[in-house]
Chains A and B, each alone.
Chain A
């Protein structure tokens, strides 16, 4: 059996799923390949990105932040201004259009922070699909506003109580639903992970971020950035923005993982940052770097941001890390919370806690760069959903 598109990224990726799902992956790949070639599909997708999502999202010069840090000039790609408040809608809409093409009526999705759940519920409402979102009870507690949003949009939110009750377990449950209802159901996977063809599909639907950002840099700033920074959970916003610059060899690409309470504490989600716990393994259908114990059991992870709290990373990031086309670092909970506040104060923008990890890296890096250098940071989402968490974490210091 051969695939239409390359199923691997170097040694990473692949299709490690039960046999029941293999035909669904083959069907999905065929539908995606056909759709990519179909001008009508592209027209509908691009039309919705413009008229419904509000694309292109702006490029904002962070003047006061740049001045305060005293180094590189900082530009923000404003995915927080996309409809539903994050980049997730790009992929959700693209996949929902594929679902219609395949003639399926129902989608299941996993969500951590709730942004992908909201995006899926939104796309499902727009296109008249039934939508069930699986969400760990730990995440339901810390992202409550998004739970209400999903329900308002007509989705059913099913709490997941198995395992660690976070994103990884929500993915398990979504896959179990999919394997049971595969005849009429599509798994609307929200990040650049999972079995082939998902990492490729998600990258393609998110590549609009990088394509727009590159055009905007050239048009508005007159040059490409020296450095592009994005947070990396599964890695969909990062792969989306990176894809616009991957062929520009002089543009440095930096992914920022969740450092949680610090790498040494063991409580984090830094798959590339902790050689004692991260090894190449297989989880949720893909071979990649996975935080695990000696016996191959998937490790519990920790991050203040639900969207980065996951034990594995998208396989294309694993390849880019090995080839050193991209570099990966991490920001702790404390650094992310501090960056969150800094962006609020200096730019009047409340970023998502996930995106705040990328901002934290900007704060570390910009002062070491010259004033004629440029950083582009992908502000993947807005922070309204995180207010409960931030209030709890900052308490009286707010």
Chain B
């Protein structure tokens, strides 16, 4: 059983996002290790890009700081290897925009990601139509497919049918960032997706509190928390302690 399948043994799972290099590289590695060892079931490890057009202000700012601190794809992959050395055993999915991967060289990127110990990829600006070239390179490392509330049924079907690992369901139209409430139609949306696939369905965008995570966790197989995680941990004087507390609270809320 691979690491991703293994992670979904106890659903719903808690899936935080944190960008490498924020607020600096050593701290971000410590933060991700702390999240992993205090309740996170899978972590989306963020790769930074100068023009993150699917992200709201919190992640924009954090990844901007990471870039100012000198983060690169190469350093990010080395950080993933370091996390494995420290005994992090949960799945680590690389989440980033396509251009830095292209610049690194797609084949080399996939190869080095595998060597470093990454388990898969999330690339928000690589929809189904453009993913053919990348899909051919990834082998058993899934390129996680995203679905949105705007996806019509026919499109949802063709994306979900070929999905591997899990489905990343964007819960709201919009960019990343916490919202004050969970959308009313979420249950129906998840049900629509489940009709087309047997892989787990995880929900992200807009989940900011343990209470919201609990609500979403009652419907979905996994809960993705990005901006709230970055804001709470990055804004704390002791990010590692904040990460431990954050992971425990969210994991606790999911039962």
Chain A interfacial positions (CB closer than 8 Å to B): 1, 7, 14-24, 162-163, 168-169, 171-172, 175-176, 179-183, 279-285, 290, 292, 294-298
Contact = CB atoms under 8 A, between A and B. Distances in A.
B125 A295 contact: no
Contact of A18 (B54, B99, B102, B149): B54
Contacts of B173: 20, 179-183
Interface residues of B, number: 41
B73 A168 contact: no
B102 A282 contact: yes
18 contacts: A1-B128, A17-B125, A17-B127, A18-B170, A19-B150, A19-B159, A20-B173, A21-B150, A22-B128, A22-B151, A176-B175, A179-B53, A283-B51, A295-B100, A296-B73, A296-B103, A297-B50, A297-B67
Interface string B72-105: 1110000000000000000000000011111110
Contacts, number: 122
B127 A22 contact: yes
Given A7-B129, A162-B64, A296-B102, 13 more contacts: A17-B127, A18-B146, A18-B148, A19-B151, A22-B155, A162-B60, A182-B150, A279-B103, A295-B100, A295-B103, A296-B99, A296-B104, A297-B67
Given A1-B158, A296-B73, A163 B124 contact: no
A261 B56 CA distance: 34
Interface in B155-178: 155, 158-159, 170, 173-175
Contacts of A19: 127-128, 146-148, 150-151, 159, 170
A74 to B, nearest CB: 39
Contacts of A283: 51, 99
A183 B174 CA distance: 11
B99 A282 contact: yes
B129 A1 contact: yes
B184 interface: no
B51 A168 contact: yes
Nearest to A1: B129
Nearest to A3: B129
Contacts of A175: 53
B7 interface: no
Contact of B174 (A180, A285, A294): A180
Contacts of A17: 125, 127
A14 B51 contact: no
Nearest to B175: A176
B189 interface: no
B103 A15 contact: no
Given A1-B158, A297-B50, A16 B128 contact: no
A163 B151 contact: no
Nearest to A174: B53
B176 to A, nearest CB: 10
B138 interface: no
Nearest to B149: A20
Contacts of B170: 18-20
B98, B150, B152, most chain A CB atoms within 10 A: B150
- Interface SS of chain A: mixed
A377 B155 CA distance: 45
Contacts of B149: 20
Interface of B: 49-54, 56, 60, 64, 67, 72-74, 98-104, 124-130, 146-152, 155, 158-159, 170, 173-175
B155 A1 contact: yes
Contacts of B158: 1
B156 to A, nearest CB: 10
Contacts of A294: 103
A281 B102 contact: yes
Contacts of B150: 19-24, 182-183
Contacts of B100: 295-297
A23 B174 contact: no
Nearest to B67: A297
Contacts of A284: 51, 53
A158 to B, nearest CB: 14
Contacts of B152: 23
A183 B172 CA distance: 12
A18 B130 CA distance: 11
A296 B49 CA distance: 8
A298 B125 contact: no
Contacts of B147: 19
Contacts of A162: 60, 64
Nearest to B71: A295
Contacts of A169: 51
Contacts of A21: 150
A327 to B, nearest CB: 26
A283 B99 CA distance: 7
Which 8 residue pairs of A and B lie closest in terms of their CB atoms, listed nearest first? A296-B103, A296-B100, A20-B148, A180-B174, A297-B50, A19-B146, A295-B72, A296-B99
A182 to B, nearest CB: 6
A309 B151 CA distance: 35
B127 A16 contact: yes
Nearest to B128: A1
Contacts of B128: 1, 19, 22
